[in-house]
Amino acid sequence: MSVLHTPVLAAEVLEWLRIRPDGTYVDATAGTGGHAIEIARRLGTGRLVVLDRDPQALEIARERLKPYGGKVVFVQAEFSRIGEAASGALAGEAAAGPYDGVLADLGVSSLELDSPERGFSFRWAAPLDMRMNPDSPLTADDIVNRWPEKQLADLLYQKAEEHDSRRIARSIVRARPIRDTEHLATVVAGAHKARGRQKLHPATKTFLALRIAVNREEEELEQFLSWTPATLNSGGRWVVLSYHSLEDRRVKRAFQRLAREGSIQVLTKRVIQPTAEEIESNPRARSAKMRVAEKLSPVEIGAAGSGS
């Protein structure tokens, strides 16, 4: 089992971040450090702040980035706390901003997907956990085995657009107690209504919805999208990779709103997606969508506001 995450759209991320050797950058969802290594390689006197809420992933990233010494600062924190990092409240001045570039790869790391005991995948009979931060109070087991049927159905529909949400929720409640991830996947598959040729496993959306709820991913993303512009230097680049439609929609709408307000300029009129070659070599990249924005300077904001 490999726990090392192959960085998605690595060449494109580096191109759009426009790394300067003396710049200060943040990998806000570093995982095991795939993108972070590529950024650190390009730094001279610059600095890289590495954030992740998963202590196990952060420890692996720390080991992999040892060759870069003091250029890299490690902070165990949710990416929603980027404002605190920029202010120096997390790890002191070493992590403080403003930043010349911020990267957030919203995908689940290979460490989490490929560790059966973490419960993110239905490939094994594993505990119903799904916590990115093992200290978080809520687990997938709490939701699957304790939530009322209606609340469970609403979760599946609202968080993952699962059209069989009510049927699946009913089947889960009837099958309780659900023992593990394999048991859950079997119950969901039995309740799923076949609609032509299925590209995804029938339990994919159910597991997605549970993961989003356990890790408060929507709330974390909203806070990150709100706080990041204030942490950037003028001309700083902001790169976000998302992996499902609801997530990408949130990023797109936030970028559009911030552009209307005049704080950023959206650089990617169309999303950037992996090539067929990258998808073939790294299948987990297949659903990735990348959006990029740039922080406007006060002069540029004023010019935009004057209509000149």
Domain termination site, one of 214, 249, 283: 214
pLDDT tens for 44-54 read 999 999 999 99
pLDDT surpassing 80 at residue 11: yes
User: Please, what is the Cα angle at 112 between 175 and 26, to 5 degrees?
Assistant: 135
Range of the domain at 210: 137-214
pLDDT tens for 144-199 read 999 999 999 999 999 999 999 999 999 999 999 999 999 999 999 999 877 666 67
How many residues are present in the chain?
308
| Any domain includes 116 | no
What confidence score (pLDDT) does residue 301 get?
A: 53
What confidence score (pLDDT) does residue 307 get?
A: 46
What confidence score (pLDDT) does residue 93 get?
A: 92
Q: Are residues 250 and 161 in the same domain?
A: no
Q: Are residues 105 and 15 in the same domain?
A: yes
Number of structural domains (the chain) is 2
What confidence score (pLDDT) does residue 304 get?
A: 52
What confidence score (pLDDT) does residue 29 get?
A: 97
Share above pLDDT 70 across residues of the chain, in percent, rounded to a whole number: 94
Domain termination site, one of 214, 242, 271: 214
User: Please, what is the Cα angle at 160 between 156 and 164, to 5 degrees?
Assistant: 50
| Any domain includes 119 | no
What confidence score (pLDDT) does residue 196 get?
A: 63
Distance (Å, whole) CA 242 – CA 109: 13
| Any domain includes 128 | no
Mean pLDDT for the stretch of residues 117-125: 92
Strands of 56-162, DSSP E: 72-76, 99-105
DSSP state of 162: -
